[in-house]
Amino acid sequence: GVPPASAAPTAVPAATSGYYFLDAPPAAAPSDAPLQALADQARRAAPDSHLDGIDLRGPRAADAPLPGQALQGPGAAPQYYFVHAVQLPNGFVTPAKPHPHAAPGAAAGHAAQQDRHPGFDIQAVRRDFPILSERINGKPLVWLDNAATTHKPRQVIERISHFYAHENSNIHRAAHTLAARATDAYEHAREVVRRFIHAPDAREVIFVRGTTEAINLVAKAWGGANVGEGDEIIISHLEHHANIVPWQQLAAAKGARLRVIPVDDQGQIRLDEYQKLINDRTKIVAIGHVSNVLGTVVPVKQVVEIAKRRGITTLIDGAQSIAHTPVDVQDLGADFFVFSGHKIFAPTGIGVLWGRREVLEAMPPWQGGGNMIADVTFEQTVYQPLPNTFEAGTGNIADAVGLGAALEYVERIGIAQISRYEHALVDYGMAQLASIAGLRLIGTVPGKASVLAFTLDGYSTDEVGQALNAEGIAVRTGHHCAQPILRRFGVETAVRPSLAFYNTFDEVDQLVREVRKLAARRR
């Protein structure tokens, strides 16, 4: 949505109370020469790999500016695009385009371990993540705690560093260059999110702290205005506490009722029982896309379709799906989709609430303060239009920029290709763990994503986690903020290895080997 540098600045009255800066002077970027040398070396080592189609320097060409830099030559006069604070600029919203992952290409892999899943160059990916070179207790780090948080590629780390070194400013309201750069970078990230989730309108993308804040925003703002005494809210047995507690609080405050979709013994929701729960009192269905404990991929499109036939509002919690499967919010059909940046290789403390425009515009603001107001008197306040309505105060600007860089990185690899690789990795891990005597897998739905939760006879989950850590293997143990679903399977805690696209079959083998040693000692 950024106008070309040759476009004339839009004139506005001098009394304009606020501005959006959509272009800015160029800023020096760090040299890409060392990274290009690494990329060239990798290509020479693997000429037939998919590296030939991927720029390992990051999600931009060598001669392209970072977001927040102008597309104009050296010495050119800075051009700013000023727009009245209550209006978004013409052309700001980029029309929806075909989903970039609709028809992914596949190329032949080359690494020995990739014989089990050709077409994905895992070593090229791993070189982008500095922390994967860490050693824990003298052993190479094996990071299998991705459902809790993912690591950050150097492209994201460098993008955030560049922001603080060259662009740092508050956004939207200042007639100076750094504000222009910062605003451009921030709004570019919003457009990247729109493109990544295939939303129709960038104004529907609201930056929040993460999935938890997004769900709370909907529960407080939408729920406060639309749920009353005797109404019902439907969730599932699979939910993370973040998609349980806000609805419990809303139900308690309004005199409403929380209804729960049960799951079968494999860990999939029962659509037949869900349809029995739906009735004229149902106001919202809030459902997780992927379980953070079982890895179950929920048929959310069917859940939404059933609710839509009754005119019921729907929310999808995409915290555990966003990094593992293509997301098209228009195809899913829900009214809200939420996710956290740190689950998809972006910083902590940044996330997204996407909402259907007409639904968002009918909601009252959740918080009040600066940035979300157009005019304030002691008698009344006029609020900004979307997205500012729900972005009160100074947001997490730098990490929103980092989120945009992370999504661009994933786009360059290809989310559909990532999904295929991870499913092969999960299937392999499930089969190997299932062969260990005394190990019980929790959640066995075919086609599950990311998670390999289990318990091991003779050991507490903490003991297993500590033993794995001694070998450099990081897993999560405990209740995983999802106590109801664990109790549904008769346990209070579980060991939860969870995978991302930078994990390898060899790392799964290491996990299985260490767990097998533990099992042999206690049999």
Tell me which long-range contacts 52-55 makes (C-beta under 8 A, separation of at least 24).
52/107, 53/105, 53/107, 54/124, 54/412, 54/413, 55/412
Contacts of 6 (CB under 8 A, 6+ apart): none
Secondary structure E strands in 66-216: 135-136, 139-140, 142-143, 205-208
* Tokens 């956004």, located at residue: 171
Positions annotated as catalytic residues are 481
- Written as six digits, the tokens of 137 are 């207790």
- Written as six digits, the tokens of 187 are 């709004």
Q: 382: how many CB neighbours lie within 10 A of its CB?
A: 10
Q: Are 202 and 191 in contact (CB under 8 A)?
A: yes
What is the Cα–Cα distance from 153 to 59, expressed in whole angstroms?
Answer: 11
* Tokens 């001669």, located at residue: 63
Q: Which helix (H) or strand (E) holds 477?
A: strand 476-478
Whole-number Cα distances in Å, 69 to 23, 166, 184, 220, 464? 7, 10, 8, 38, 49
The HSE-up count of residue 492 (CA atoms within 13 Å, CB side) is: 3
The HSE-up count of residue 22 (CA atoms within 13 Å, CB side) is: 22
Distance from chain centroid for Cα 418:
14
Name 440's bridge partners. 455
Q: 247: how many CB neighbours lie within 10 A of its CB?
A: 24
Q: Are 221 and 363 in contact (CB under 8 A)?
A: yes
Contacts of 513 (CB under 8 A, 6+ apart): none
What is the Cα–Cα distance from 97 to 91, expressed in whole angstroms?
Answer: 15
